[in-house]
């Protein structure tokens, strides 16, 4: 029964997340590491949370695809301005492309965009591979972002 109970008196967290032997507490848009104090100052980090998501498209498929478009449903609370969002796309073929939130269109909270062509290609090759890694991140924490689903449209590469 040792270490079965924990309490918090000074932070009053809204949520907690446990990773192995560490406990992180969230309050608003900040993260605190449990039991890392020096007097009244929290040690470790007291950083704001930024919207961030990293995911793999078609992780276990066996054929090569050409990735064309993506769309997601969600809300941006505090305004539907996506200027601070950046997307990065990578394939195992060492292709990489980037997209700024200004190029995302909002159609009744279905956000749509074309996956950009490979950055280093002289002819603007489309992103292709068996899988694609996507990162959606924001450089601002002035708004809350909710994401309901993501859909990627692709076609089989016959070349």
pTM over 0.85: no
Domain 52-156 CATH assignment equals 2.60.120:
yes
Most confident of 26-35, 55-64, 139-148: 55-64
- The residues, any chain, with a CB within 8 Å of residue 70's CB and separated by 6 or more, are 112, 113, 115, 134, 150, 151, 152, 153
Residue 51 pLDDT: 76
Q: Are 82 and 76 in contact (CB under 8 A)?
A: yes
Alpha-carbon separation of residue 148 from 106, 110, 128 (angstroms)? 14, 10, 26
* pLDDT one-digit tens code per residue, 13-56: 777 777 777 777 777 766 777 766 544 444 445 556 677 889 99
Residue extents of the structural domains in the chain: 15-48, 52-156
């Amino acid at each position: 029964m040792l270490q079965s109970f924990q309490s918090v008196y000074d932070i009053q967290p809204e949520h907690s997340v446990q990773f192995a032997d560490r406990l992180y507490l969230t309050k608003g848009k900040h993260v605190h590491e449990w039991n890392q104090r020096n007097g009244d100052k929290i040690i470790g980090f007291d950083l704001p949370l930024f919207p961030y998501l990293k995911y793999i498209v078609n992780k276990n498929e066996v054929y090569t695809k050409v990735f064309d478009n993506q769309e997601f449903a969600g809300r941006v609370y505090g305004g539907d301005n996506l200027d601070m969002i950046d997307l990065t796309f990578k394939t195992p073929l060492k292709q990489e492309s980037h997209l700024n939130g200004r190029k995302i269109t909002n159609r009744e909270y279905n956000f749509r965009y074309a996956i950009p062509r490979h950055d280093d290609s002289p002819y603007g090759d489309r992103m292709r591979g068996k899988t694609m890694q996507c990162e959606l991140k924001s450089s601002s924490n002035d708004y809350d972002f909710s994401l309901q689903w993501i859909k990627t449209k692709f076609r089989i590469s016959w070349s």
